[in-house]
Amino acid sequence: MFKALQTIIIISFSHCLLSQNDLVSLNERLADARDSNNFVELARTYLQIGDFQAEKERNHELAFENYTRSLEHFKFIQDSVNYYKVQHRIANVFRLTEQFTEAEERYNQVIAYRQKVNDTKGLASVLLDNAILFGNDNDLENQGRYLNRIAKMNRELNDSVFYINYVFEKIRYLETLQEIDSAKMLSKQVFRWSQDLNHDYFLGKSLYFLGYYNNKERNYEDAIRYLNNSLLFIGKNALEPLKLDIYKLLASCYQTVGDYKKAYRFVSDYSSLNDSILHRQRIIAINNLTFKHKVRQKNRDLKLMEQDKEIAVERNAQQRRLLYVFGFGLALLATAIYFIVQFFRQRIQATRIINQQRDKIDKQRIKDLENDVKIRSMQSVIVGQEEERERIAKDLHDSLGGLLSAVKLQFEKVRTTQGRVFNLPEFENGQNLLDTAVEEVRTISRNLQPSSLKNMGLVAAINDLINRYVGETYPEIHFQHYNISKGLDTMVATSIYRIIQELLNNAIKYAKAKEIIIQLNQEDDEVVISFEDDGIGFDPKTVEKGMGLENIQSRVTYLKGDLQIESQKDIGTSYHIHVKVNEV
């Protein structure tokens, strides 16, 4: 139930989400601040860019880099308030990337500072983030301890928005402890407070909780009402993980009350949204793994730099001692011999230290190689995704498709034996719905795993795909191919098919194209895909990448290929893709 609550975390209501144009403006301000050595402006601009990367793009690696630079400049200008504000942001990044130890260390530093300056509001904010951290780490004892501290401070805060966020975390804590009655009571209270505030986000989440608990009590009609109302508010905020839970719960409720048509609709919505979220989470997981690796590497580099500095200082001391020996010369021969002996002894020690450091570096390189292997293994997720598509398609076709076909035969039997029944409107309506269900199952099965791709090859599968878009409402599609081998590797052929499928969907659904040209050529070990449409076009530099473009880029990256996009407004868009292929 609380997957959405654990995932959707509002870092700070005071943060403002920037657009791409704002980011360009910030980079210009950054350049001006560097030219004028304005360290105050540099610190603030790096902070704003970090907020953009963390909140809008969810690029934790770039956010961490910009926050770190901002932290250094605030430290240089001795701005303690903003210094610990950035420390709080960095702790949130560590928490979101599941580096709980690093996050807790930063939170503790911020807590100590907030207590020192008697900043009650700031202290409450970091205590809540720390409670969320312990909740994510399943440390219920510490989670409850921090929530109790916040409860004692609420009278001083007088902040309704913060308090509601605290209550949501409290509900999550009580649910984990199986204190269902208390969690339900808080859900009702937070719904009333959300109504008073007229806050869409809070109303949507509190309605979801009410639906969840009514479903638990088997009050299915009330649960359906609360959940449908929740979607009205959640839809405005596009909170996908929470939507996922709502779809799943609505499908279960409708199935229980016997409304299978609506249950099927929400199952379909759940499946579609879940695929999108899983894909995004895989990309985020790869980025987080890379980020964790780089953070560890940076910490190791800093330690090595400190050790190198110590060795350099030691070497300088040795050189000074050697100069003293030569300066005194023969007059202090005994002293010189003493220093020479000391020099060689310390040199041996320094050499031993260097060798030990080299051994550590070699071991670390081995670990780094292992991490690289882990990162590359994430690519296998794409293979698993296709295998899962094939399995689901077979299940739909073999089980549900066969069952629907059997039901259809029974309808036909009734048609031939019971002429009176055939004339009833209810019979006709039922038969039409059954035909629609059969066709829908076939369409879903074919989209998940096109049989023509496996049986007849890539070119035949693409032709089959294009034939689905024939009619007055669809654009004119031209498909040209040359020298495409039928012996392409299965995953390569599947990935090329998915790329063209996604491009066709974008051109028809979003670009509103009237004519599409697809060219597919194979030259030795390379396949070249050229896709052109006369749609409305877009600016590739400023457009926000949706799931379509991300899926295409992910497939091209998996094939170690190259993607180039050229688009002009109201003229059209062209995609040029080069991928390496293997033949079986």
The CA distance from 153 to 88, in Å, is 19
Q: What are phi and psi of 519, to 5 degrees?
A: -125, 135
- pLDDT for 378 equals 44
The CA distance from 132 to 96, in Å, is 10
Q: Which amino acid is at 293?
A: H
State mean pLDDT over 52-73: 86
* Contact of 435 with 408, CB cutoff 8 Å: yes
pLDDT digits (tens, 9 = 90+) for 462-502: 888 888 888 888 898 999 988 888 778 877 888 888 888 88
- pLDDT for 83 equals 94
| Residues contacting residue 353 through CB under 8 Å, at least 6 positions apart | 307, 311
Tokens in use for 242? 């929470």
Does the pTM surpass 0.75? The reply is: no
Q: Cα 418 vs. chain centroid, distance in angstroms?
A: 57
Average pLDDT, the chain: 79
* Contact of 77 with 62, CB cutoff 8 Å: no
pLDDT digits (tens, 9 = 90+) for 560-570: 888 888 888 88
State mean pLDDT over 514-539: 88
Residue 219: is its pLDDT beyond 80? yes
pLDDT digits (tens, 9 = 90+) for 114-168: 999 999 888 999 999 999 999 888 899 998 899 888 888 877 778 888 888 888 8
Least confident of 156-170, 286-300, 340-354, 418-432: 286-300
